[in-house]
Chain A
Amino acid sequence: MADGRPGSGRYTLNTFDFSTTLGNAFFNTPIFTASGCASSGKELAQFFDLRDIGAVVTKSVMNKPRYGRPTPRMAETPSGMLNSIGLQGPGIDAFLAKDVPWLIEQKSRVIVSIAGETVEEYATLARKVRSVAGISALEVNISCPNVENRGLVFACDPDASRRVIDGVRRTIGGEIPIIAKLSPDVTNLPEIARGVVDAGADALALINTVLGMVINLDSMRPHLGGKTGGLSGPAIRPVAVRAIYQVHAALPNVPILGMGGVSSGRDALELILAGASGVSVGTASFGNPSAVIQIQRELHDLLIAKGFPSLKSAIGYAHRVEEE
């Protein structure tokens, strides 16, 4: 940490271990960007050094270039926002040829996020990602809510989730960890989580946005071009904390990359105490381009102030059983 202040606890910034791991990937710090909220890193590089955070998680990329959904794509809601982007992007080939080399050149850690419409597309994407050196982990986004057919949200179906992760696992081998990004919009999240872990996911990303809608009172129709959108921001943070807590309780050995409305160090700590090994900052960057680095500093100081000897010692601390 270049710019931390010594906390009030016993552990100073020199001895405090801020590092974390997701599967076999090691990160110097536990704060990441969130997929879909940092594009491919270039835009935020003006506001902080990308090397200083845990990793850049890139916007979920599909096999082919994609226009995404029609505008309006955004509606602000109380302490949150709805988005309906629909995975606009350059396609995996252009992405791997241009965006990833740039990030690696910056010496940023990179987690590539992929999204597909079929089990086969995910496997194809994984094969292409595997061919590029320097990527720390693969996020498999099986929970984007902004697709034409809600049936395509693999993460709402235990069997479909498993098949996607199984296909990716067979393709990627054991080289880089697979992080399955799940939706909170399910009845039994631990069951879905257990299924993808059994199929070969090394870690879980919790949570994707929550499906929502805003009706425009001028047109008296759904405001977003895609009608429904994904709700993000502080409004959904308690949903994220609940999801992480539930899944960590069911699968205590599976690392979780937590996200959902984190906009301060105390929010990040809440997700870590619930069981997250790392925290992604998403929508907060829209309102504050320095959010990722500010939250990282705040979390660092807060962990020390609370007396934790390391980030790892705080993971899942809310689940502890008090000794008699």
Chain B
Amino acid sequence: MSQINRSAAQLNATVLANKRIGQYHQIVFGIGDLVKSCRPGNFVAIKVGGESSRMILRRAFAISRVSESVSFGGTMELIVAPHGTGSKWLCSQPEGAEVDIVAPLGTAFGIPTAPVNALLVGGGYGSAPLFGLAEVLKARGCKVDMLLGASTGAKIYAPMEGKRAVNSLKIYTEDGTMGETGRVTEPIKTLIDNREIDVIYSCGPMGMLSAISALTAGTDVVHQCAVEEAMACGIGICMTCVLPVMGEDGKIAMLRSCIDGPVMDGGQVQWQMVGQVPEGTP
């Protein structure tokens, strides 16, 4: 059988909870045993708008965390920003509603086999999948520090329970309404120079991911980033979500961020070429 999408299943998931947190919605779905296949970094593709919708494409969301409990079975949590028509529809779904999901999709964050010093960097609600990742890293004995940034305090997502999984958490906002004033990338250079970190895990806007890659370039620090590119299918068949990525053969390939990502090696993504294609043939 094929290896692509090998853990994915399509099912109707029930909304178990949906509450507003700042500018975001925290939505919890019952997905049963599918939680066993979900890893930090994976995403879910959700059909939006209902049966008669004119929206024909699924919407992709990073899985924030999964858990299992006696009362609810396997559950999956998403942090959704109600930006567009599709995400607004999802945020309006009441408890008990059934939603057609395909999950888990895409690559997951690589987990080191030995304890390392990990820095987790989240931009906006890109922080959501990092708390689940922090728990996994912590269980492996890693030191986990977290930096979260956003334009303003209301766009910081940092749940109380998530903070328990990290050794330290620092927040940056551009307008100074929460934490330090400035960009989340500002302290990273010093941390790298002082050899305080071995690996950076990041999730957030492409500009932030690109900036972190520039800081880790030429250093021994590994940068695993979860990219964000517009996708139509989420399962590798539409070829719309491609990014230029350097392969081991020294050639640039246009890789699908849905199946070769969303977690990619930030050092291999050709950030300066996003939105372009290389000259000539691959």
Contact = CB atoms under 8 A, between A and B. Distances in A.
B238 A44 contact: no
Interface string A17-47: 0000000000000000000111100111111
A317 interface: no
A123 B177 CA distance: 65
Interface string A284-302: 1111111000000000000
- Taking residues whose C-beta sits less than 8 angstroms from the other chain, chain B's interface range is 35 or more
Given A43-B237, A85-B239, A285-B237, A79 B56 contact: yes
Contact residues on A (Cβ < 8 Å of other chain), bracket:
35 or more
Interface of B: 1-6, 8, 10, 47, 54-58, 100, 102, 229-233, 235-243, 254, 259, 274-278, 281-282
Contacts of A128: none
Given A46-B2, A66-B282, A289 B235 contact: yes
Nearest to A285: B237
Contacts of B2: 42-43, 45-46
A289 B10 contact: yes
A143 interface: no
B5 A46 contact: yes
Interface string A59-79: 100001111111111101011
A68 B274 CA distance: 13
B255 to A, nearest CB: 10
A10 to B, nearest CB: 31
Query: DSSP class of A's interface residues: helix, strand, loop or mixed?
Result: loop
8 contacts: A37-B238, A46-B5, A47-B10, A71-B240, A79-B54, A83-B240, A91-B281, A286-B237
Contacts of A59: 239
Contact of A68 (B236, B254, B275): B254
Interface in A59-111: 59, 64-74, 76, 78-81, 83, 85, 88, 91
Contacts of B239: 36, 39, 59, 68, 73, 85, 88
A90 to B, nearest CB: 8
A295 B209 CA distance: 41
A78 B104 CA distance: 27
Contacts of A36: 239
Contact of B56 (A67, A72, A80, A83): A80
A76 B237 CA distance: 16
Nearest to A73: B240
Contact of A67 (B233, B235, B237, B277): B277
A76 B55 contact: yes
